[in-house]
Amino acid sequence: MNKIRSLKWGVAIAAYQTEGAYNKDGKGLSIWDTFTQKPYRIKDRSNAKIATDFYHRFEEDIDLAVDIGLQIFRFSVSWSRIFPNGTGVANPKGIEFYNKVINYCLKVGIEPWITTYHWDLPQKLQDKGGWTNRDSISWYAAYVTILRNHFADRVKHWILINEGIVCMGGGYFLGVHAPGKRGIRNFISSTHHLLLAQAEGFKILKKREGLQVGTAISCTKIEPYRNTNADHKAAIRIDTLMNRLFIEPHLGLGYPDNDFPALKRISKFYKKGDIEALKADFDFWGIQTYAREVVKAAWYIPYLRAIQVKPEKRNVKTSVMGWETYPEGVQYFLERFAKYSPKKTLWLSECGVALSKNEDDQKRIEYYQKVIEGMKTVLDKNINLKGILLWTLIDNFEWAEGYIPKFGIISLDRKTMHRKMKISALWLKKYLSNIKL
């Protein structure tokens, strides 16, 4: 109990999933605004033009977080609200909105954290190739500079890129997320530029003293299907892609291309000094883990040479997201990432479970109880875990899955926009008030 008490508890949200007001007060369109307009991209044919209407209801939502006893409010900035065209002159109304959010957090006593990029690139920049264009490094640098100049006097914790593998893999390799691009060339060029941009963003923020600057890493437990050499190698390849690609270049370890040979092609996009420029000695890493995947060798799948064995084929229950929910991943990844050198401060910067609208919210409580067990174990091993941010406060727009999965501890009636604490929120409130004793 003692060590759990030393942890900070918070919540995480993201701009496109919650804000709505997609064209209000001078905001430009983002790649998600345009992607959701294309046919058959979103499971329930929805979009986030309104989402949870955080833009107009942020005070109510922040109050709810405070009422539950949470200490950190992590939100992302919508790039196209700040720069409607992606670059150029900043939109004063966009700056004003985030000033209001930050000031309100401070007023009611919850710490604001900023994520600079949670997948919603301005469409105007996508029109120029998006992250496949090397200019994206300077676009992002200009954007981060503006954020720092306006907000770093009050916001001390910054997360640069949220889950590089998910936005690059989904958006530039598989085409299932915005901007819907496919293919290895798109994937590796955009990945290289995103990592360089993130390292540049780190330097820009660290010019200001006193900031804690980190990144948020998507972590998925990968296991081989059969105990064969081929399946073990397949698991290593997918693990490299999912869990190492977005951290090792920043540590100066280069790209892990021995274990995932297709990455050797990245060298086509190198410019002199890139390997050095990729280094970023983050103040912390945000670990975000949801699922376990089991893979087997498949020579016919290009580049990956592996295929996923779906949970239902393994007699494991699939969540509404189609994945196997895996709270045990919390302990596994905290222990694993604690082994990297140099040692980093770790946060669980997202953590949650997707339920369908008919599932009992009790399952969410059970999920978080398992997470707490995992955290206790790693704290006993003296791993430098600082806190946990829940994903997420209110049921929101879950990307290509629309509004079907429910990740919130608070439900939303989308007709009235009424918010209601679920039993998991009430449980958490009680739990937090007890551990403060």
Q: Is 276 a catalytic residue?
A: no
CA distances 214 to 161, 166, 198, Å, are: 9, 17, 10
> For ligand BGC, which stretch binds (CB under 6 A), given 42-50, 130-138, 161-169, 206-214?
161-169
CB 257 within 8 A of CB 241: no
Count CA atoms within 13 Å of residue 130 on its CB side.
Answer: 23
Q: Which of 15, 33, 48 is nearest to 401 (CA)?
A: 48
CA distances 203 to 1, 3, 160, Å, are: 38, 33, 11
E strand or H helix at 113, and its extent?
strand 111-117
CB of 94 to ligand BGC, least distance (A): 21
Does 163 engage in binding with ligand BGC (CB under 6 A)? Answer: yes
Structural tokens at position 424: 């998991």
Per-residue x/- track, 291-310, ligand BGC (CB under 6 A)? --------------------
Supply φ then ψ for residue 224, to 5 degrees.
Answer: -75, 150
Q: Is 401 a catalytic residue?
A: no
Q: Where does residue 253 rank: exposed (0-12), middle (13-18), buried (19+ CB within 10 A)?
A: middle
Of 14 and 147, the one with the shorter C-beta distance to ligand BGC is: 14
Indicate the length of the chain as a whole number: 437
> For ligand BGC, which stretch binds (CB under 6 A), given 85-93, 160-168, 225-233, 293-301?
160-168
Residues of this chain, 397-416, that bind ligand BGC according to CB under 6 A: 398, 407
**Which residue in 163, 200, 293, 398 is the catalytic one?**
163
CB of 356 to ligand BGC, least distance (A): 14
**C-alpha–C-alpha distance, residues 26 and 16, integer Å:** 16
Does 36 engage in binding with ligand BGC (CB under 6 A)? Answer: no
CB of 157 to ligand BGC, least distance (A): 16
Which of 78, 186, 218, 220 lies at the binding interface for ligand BGC (CB under 6 A)? 218
Of 52 and 87, the one with the shorter C-beta distance to ligand BGC is: 52
CB of 20 to ligand BGC, least distance (A): 16
Supply φ then ψ for residue 35, to 5 degrees.
Answer: -60, -40
Residues of this chain, 265-294, that bind ligand BGC according to CB under 6 A: 288
Does 162 engage in binding with ligand BGC (CB under 6 A)? Answer: yes
Kindly list the catalytic residues.
Answer: 163, 350
